[in-house]
Amino acid sequence: MNSSNLTWGGCDVIELARKFGTPLYVLSEDIIRARCREVKKSFLDKWKNTAAYYASKAFLTMAMARIIDSEGLGLDFVSGGEIYTAYKSGFDMERTLLHGSAKSDMEISEALERGVGRIVIDNIQEISQVADVAESRGIRARVLIRVATGVEPETHKAMRTSYTGGKFGISLVDDNLEQAVKLAVSCPQIELYGFHFHVGSMIYEPDAHVESAGVMMKNIRQLRDSIGFETRELDVGGGVGTARSPTEKTPEIAYFTDPIMTRIINDCECFKLPRPKIMIEPGRWIVSEAGITLYSVESVKETGSFSEGRAWINVDGGMYDNPRPCLYGAKYSAVIADKIDVQGTREFAIAGHCCESGDTLIEAIKLPEPKRGDVIVFYNTGAYTFSMASNYNRMRRPAVVLVKDGKAEMMVMRQSYDDLLSGEVMPEHLNNLMSRR
């Protein structure tokens, strides 16, 4: 191991690139576990009658589910595929919940049959849908109702999830929520425990969460007074942001949970309400900084004079393994693995392999002079990279390795070309057609 090379989880990243190839996702098990333990210490142990669910959409494999399970956290899902992944890993399905604004009957059925602990109902129509599926399976569904609190946090518009008139949740306009609660409690196939809200993602101040908690507590009191419904659970979602550059600091989980809990407790005392069980859903906050992505430099391209032109570093990954810069302008920091102590000389743009002008991973970054074959390391890529990866341009999804104490083990194999063709079937009438030469 070269002592000047970057290491992750005790492993030389250049050696990882040689052994496993690039692009390569690398996750530190120690960082994941440390974040889970901070949730336990600063929220679960500090505040009684609470629960924490890792938002599996950020990153989920069977190995990740096993780590989360061993740390005592739950999982939240948005698809049958996520449910199945956790189930196959041996996860305790009682500590799970299912989200989603367009659940299919099959996904609801799978959630009920696999023993998912809660189903979060997104809209009034879904109440009857869940009730019908539960009746057909002879199972009583335990549910929460998702509410759009109308609070808009300071974040990218594509990451706001609780505004009135948006995609998620039941609006508080008119008496929508009361009607939903009345319908849910009238269904013998449904047991309504309470409510859920999620204000958005990449949020750095707790104000929107606290305000939304206050909105919900007022509605919880109103529902008790008007129809006698007693709320047993309130899920306040996740969305805590993480550092986007070495100069930023990721908020501690208590920076959000302490004021949320204080607001809820004060409102319960004021409204003479029993305090419901409070749940949180950290996802990115747990896994994002545990992950790095390794790329190999394929070429360095000058587009003008050395002093005035733009220089491009072209790498072997791109929007197919990390679409976030293209989707909502996500920012990343990066280093050259064997030049981490060398000061950058000028700015470069880092471009991906896909046939798209928009496939730019970093618009401008100051780095030492790169050369073909260098390994470039992107920080803070544990969340929403592997989980959002695609096969655009028939690219193969990268491998994922887990590192700990200088040992690297495979979590996900790199796709082969045959994997790309898996599931394809040649229509019968094309079987005998050959290209004419």
Q: What is the pLDDT of residues 244-254, one digit of tens each?
A: 777 788 999 99
The Cα 192–Cα 55 span in angstroms is 22
Counting Cβ atoms within 10 Å, is residue 341 exposed (0-12), middle (13-18) or buried (19+)?
exposed
Segments of the chain scoring below 70 in pLDDT: 1-3, 152-166, 304-309, 435-437
Output the six-digit token pair for 40.
């336990």
Q: Note the pLDDT tens digit of each residue in 31-47.
A: 999 999 999 999 999 99
> CATH second-level architecture of 99-282?
Alpha-Beta Barrel (3.20)
pLDDT of residue 428: 87
The Cα 63–Cα 67 span in angstroms is 6
Judge whether 355 counts as a catalytic residue.
yes
SS3 232: coil
Nearest residue to 379 via CA among 336, 323, 318: 336
Are 415 and 397 in contact by the 8 Å Cβ rule? The answer is yes
Tell me how far CA of residue 426 lies from CA of 391, 396, 416, 421, 430, in angstroms: 20, 21, 20, 11, 7
Q: Note the pLDDT tens digit of each residue in 167-190.
A: 778 988 878 899 999 999 999 999
Are 232 and 196 in contact by the 8 Å Cβ rule? The answer is no
* Region(s) of the chain under CATH 3.20.20.10: 99-282
Question: For domain 7-24+289-417, which CATH number applies: 3.40.140.10, 3.40.1390.10, 2.40.37.10, 3.40.50.150?
Answer: 2.40.37.10
pLDDT of residue 160: 46
Selecting among 187, 326, 354, 355, the annotated active-site residue is 355
DSSP class of 43:
I
The letter for the amino acid at 74 is: G
Q: What is the pTM of this model?
A: 0.93
- The residues facing 280 across adjacent strands are 52
* Region(s) of the chain under CATH 2.40.37.10: 7-24+289-417
- The residues facing 366 across adjacent strands are 347
Output the six-digit token pair for 316.
């072997």
